[in-house]
Structure 1
Amino acid sequence: MKRDIVDFVAKCPNCQQVKVEHQIPGGMTQEINIRTWKWEVINMDFITGFPHTRTNLDSIWVIVDRVTKSAHFLAVKTIDLMEDYARLYIDKIFGLHGIPLSIISDGGPQFTSHFWKSFQRGIATQVNLSKTFHPQTDAKANRTIQTLEDRLITCGVNFKGSWDDHLPLIEFTYNNSFHSIVEMASYKTLCGRRSMPPIGWSEVGEVALIRPDSVHEAMEKVQLIRDRLKTT
């Protein structure tokens, strides 16, 4: 069985496009003081190189909470300014999770500093980050981000120029799926329970309230995304 799996992965074109070698960075890693509350310490990273969408989006901004492992995936442009990222964070994340205390970014301290200044201007307040970290100090979080990158790139390869239309379903599927580190779904660690997936709409009568074709299309997409995420 193991040999069959290895042979399949070696011949799978999507696997070869998105798989990368996962190695722990060299040098001594430092212990990070993990906060005990949700969305106080977050990881940020950018996945680039996606096919351009109708609105010229070509990258995904991945933002992950270190405690619950819940995540948000935001479609962006590589040419966006720091003020654009700060405004997007305020519009999509700030209202849900508040102000983070620490940011771990693959872009390094310079990116974190510039982003934070733009964020403070956007909310018209002065709040100091408690500490910023280089990604080498947190190998486990780095591996989580890399796993997400593999999965998102796989979906980008499959959905091509319409990948941004599927991003909300991909985010939902990730957050509502079992996470081995927290030993439950990220939604359960965040909200106390898993969310009702579109795959179960037909069981509670929503099809009668929503256009049946829309419901069935969403159910098919969720199942397709689930199947593809399992192969990464």
Structure 2
Amino acid sequence: MKAEIATYVGKCKTRAKVKAEYMKPFGLLVQPKIPQWKWENITTDFVTKLPKTTTGQDMIWVIVDRLTKSAHFLPAKENDSMEKLTRQYLKEVVSKHEVPVSIIFDRDDMLRACVMDFKKGWDKHLPLIEFSYNNSYHTSIKAAPFEVLYGRKYRSPVCWAEVGDAQLTGLEIIHETTEKIIQIKHHLQALRDR
């Protein structure tokens, strides 16, 4: 029956005429205008179906400034109410950057690949993933998002230029953090090279 309906609708001259009249012509996707100021225009995405963490988180809300490419990765639950997400957005984004003029919804798997390595503990590593993303070179802006946003390189106990070669001494957390950041940066680079 489905095939018969499709055949009938496909042959209908009235439908063909009306459809052609009201359809926009096919063409290239229109690129949005380049933003005039930081955090004025953002893209947002929800990375869903992640392993549930011990705190019940199973989703990441990704919010990226289109001008500087700096990002916030907010852990959440797929069944969180709009009110809860709004409160989180106000606390984590608006309080730091103001309300944007426009929002574009995006679909990108970059973060999913990075998070999957950490399995059910991904929420504990999310600040490091955000840190690595915001301090990694982006070819589109020819700098790291942090550098574009604040006008300087990020200061850190982790030796960014020599990660992997440096001999860090001191607290164990610095060693663990460095190892995680190396792992995250490798994932981010591999995804960009695709």
TM-score, normalised to structure 2, is 0.75
| 1:192 aligned to which of 133, 143, 151 | 151
Match of 2:175 in 1: 216
**Whose RCO is larger (CA < 8 A, sep 6+)?**
1
SS in 2 for 1:225: helix
- The aligned residue for residue 117 of structure 1 is none
**Contact 2:136/2:185 (<8 A) preserved:** no
Report what 2:10 is aligned to: none
Asked whether the equivalents of residues 155 and 163 of structure 1 are also in contact (C-alpha less than 8 Å), the reply is no
- Paired position in structure 2 for 1:125: none
The one of 123, 140, 146 aligned to 1:181: 140
Letter of the structure 2 residue corresponding to residue 219 of structure 1:
T
In structure 2, relative to structure 1, the CA distance for the partners of 1:207 and 1:101 (3 Å cut) is: farther
Partners of 1:197 and 1:54 lie apart in 2 by 29
Superposed CA RMSD in Å reads 2.1
User: Does structure 1 residue 166 correspond to structure 2 residue 128?
Assistant: no
Is this contact kept in 2: 1:199–1:223, CA < 8 A?
no
Task: Tell me how far apart the structure 2 counterparts of residues 105 and 83 of structure 1 sit (CA, whole Å).
Answer: 19
SS in structure 2 of the partner of residue 183 of structure 1: coil
Q: Residue 44 of structure 2 aligns to a residue in which SS? A: strand
- Quick one: distance in 2 between partners of 1:30 and 1:154? 28
Gaps of 5+ in 2: 1-25, 163-167
Q: Percent sequence identity over matched residues?
A: 44
Compare the two structures and name the one with the higher helix fraction. 1
User: Paired residue for 1:119?
Assistant: none
Q: In the alignment, what sits opposite 2:68?
A: 68
Q: Which one has a bigger Cα radius of gyration?
A: 2
Q: Show structure 1 runs of 4+ deviating over 3 A.
A: none
Shift of 1:198: 4.0
SS at match of 2:120: helix
Letter in 2 for 1:89: Y
Aligned to 1:46: 46
Where 2:158 maps in the other structure, the secondary structure is helix
* Partner-residue secondary structure (3-state), 2:43: strand
